[in-house]
Each structure stands twice: as structure tokens, then as C-alpha cells.
Amino acid sequence: MWFRKTGKTQMNSNSKTGLLIKDEILDLLEKKELIIEPLLEIDQVGEITVDLRIGTDFLSLQQGRNAFIDTTTNNIKSRPIKSHYTQTRRKIGEYFLFHPNQPVLFSTLEYLKLPPNIYADLNLRSSFGRLGLGLSTIIQPGYCGCASVEITNRGNTPIRVLSGTRMVQIRFYKLDSNSEYFNKVRKYTCQVRPVPSKANEDSELVKLKSMKSK
């Protein structure tokens, strides 16, 4: 068994809410209540975070012939939001460049499945935050799939990274009750590659447009 708990605490994962610590995370992984796969090295699990790696698939936002990205319309006559992105793949160990001010979506190498009473937030590891990269992502309880991460290089210098690098840290928070992820139609389910924005598929858009004429 490669899950080695520190023995520092004897925490029962049912016992408290709030930020999960290392032994609680390891306990959930061992019981398969929390899935993080592949976990290439067990030391990715830190005291209060787990390091996640850059995956192999990227979507870079590009300026095209359209003057703007239209998040208000979704029909066969409108250009899909997807067309504003360039899709590219890398093998683990190959380079990827984050150009200044270009939003990039990538999937984490790890596939996640969260229990219904745990949500997570993602942040950059400080080494990358210090380079001018920025991200902020939250993951709902019960989510399953690779985490889709949006990163923008806010500096003025391109940054080269290797696919597979530990770039992101995830923190888990326990709630005092379950939240059913699939109690509504989910736009992102079991995704393993980054998915472009589906802002134009929001069901409220039709309602909002109808209010204009009232």
C-alpha cells in the first residue's frame, strides 16, 4: 500500500468540516472516495494541498476575423465559441509556451472525482504565480473529470513550461451536508480535455433576451 499516513493526526474524515489535511486526503484516496489519477508520486500530496500536473491538451484563445466573442447567441448561424480557440496537444515532457495576455485552457493530467460533500479550489503553485501567471478555479462537490484550468500570463515575457510539470495546487474543503452534482444538467461531465466556454449555452439567455421587448 503506497498510501502512507503521517500518523500526526488520527482524524476521522466524517468528523469535521473545513479544509482537509494530509491524512484525511490520503484516507479518502485509499477508500476510493476521492479519485486523483494518475497520482505519479505520492509526495504530490502535501500537508493541506495536492500538486496537480499540466496535462497534454491545450486550448489557446486567438484573435480571429470576428470583432468579438459572442456569448449571447447559440444557433447554427453564429460562430461557435470553440472557433476562437486553437487546440494543441503535447506529450508529457514536451514544451508549451504561455504567451503574454493570451488566455490558455488546459486539463490537469489527473482525473478527479470528488465526494458529494467535498469541494475544491485550485491555485497556482507559488513558483509559477511569481512568474506572472494567474488562475482561479473552483470545483463543485461530486465533480468528475480532469480539471479544466484557465491560465493567463499577465507578465510581458513568454513562459515556457513542460507538460507534466506540477503547476497547480488543489485544496479540498468538507461541507456538513452532501451536494448532488447531477441534480441538474451539467455542461461539463467526465471531461478529459479542456472544454471551451459554453457561456452561450446558458438556458437563461432566451429569457433575458425576451425581457428586452417588454
Partner 1 sequence: MDYKTIELNLCQLEESFAKSRSNIYSDFRKEEHFQELYALFQKIKENDYQKFDEQEILNHNYLLNVIFKSLEYLDNSTLNVTPYEIISCLEFALNDWIKDDDFIIVTSLSNKKTDFYLETTLSEESFELLNQFINNKYGLKISKKLIQISLPKILSRDYLSSVVLYHELGHFVDNQLNISKKMLLKKYSINQPNDDETSRYLNHTMEYFADLFAAQYVNNSSNTYLGYIAPEHPDSQTHPATRSRINVSLDFLNSKSIEIVDEFNKLLHLSSLPLLEIRHSKIDISYCNLTKLYPQNFEDVSELHYIFQLGWDIWEDAENNFLKEFSSRQRYNIVNNLIEKSISNYVVQKNWEDANE
Separation CA 206–CA 210 (nearest Å): 6
Separation CA 210–CA 2 (nearest Å): 57
Cβ proximity of 71 and 145 under 8 Å: no
The residue from 74, 123, 140, 191 that contacts partner 1 (CB under 8 A) is 191
Separation CA 94–CA 115 (nearest Å): 33
Residue 144 cell numbers, joined: 468528475
* Shortest distance (Å) from residue 139 CB to partner 1: 14
Check binding of 38 to partner 1 (CB under 8 A): yes
Cβ proximity of 194 and 150 under 8 Å: no
* Shortest distance (Å) from residue 55 CB to partner 1: 9
Check binding of 111 to partner 1 (CB under 8 A): yes
Place of cell 429569457: 207
The residue from 6, 78, 87, 127 that contacts partner 1 (CB under 8 A) is 87
Separation CA 143–CA 89 (nearest Å): 24
Q: What is the DSSP letter of 132?
A: T
Check binding of 37 to partner 1 (CB under 8 A): yes
141-160 footprint of partner 1 as x/- string (CB under 8 A): ---xxx--------------
Check binding of 97 to partner 1 (CB under 8 A): no
Tell me whether residue 41 is one of the annotated catalytic residues.
no
Check binding of 56 to partner 1 (CB under 8 A): yes
Separation CA 7–CA 2 (nearest Å): 15
Instruction: Using the rule CB under 8 A, give the single segment among 3-11, 65-73, 90-98, 150-158 that binds partner 1.
Output: 90-98
Check binding of 118 to partner 1 (CB under 8 A): no
* Shortest distance (Å) from residue 38 CB to partner 1: 5
The residue from 189, 201, 208, 209 that contacts partner 1 (CB under 8 A) is 189
Separation CA 165–CA 161 (nearest Å): 7
- Which position among 30, 150, 180, 204 bears the catalytic label? 150
Residue 36 cell numbers, joined: 486523483
Q: Give how far the C-alpha of residue 158 lies from the chain's centroid of Cα atoms, to the nearest Å.
A: 22
Active site residue ranges: 150
- Tell me which residues touch partner 1 (CB under 8 A): 35, 37-38, 40, 56, 87-92, 94, 109, 111, 113, 144-146, 182, 185, 189-193
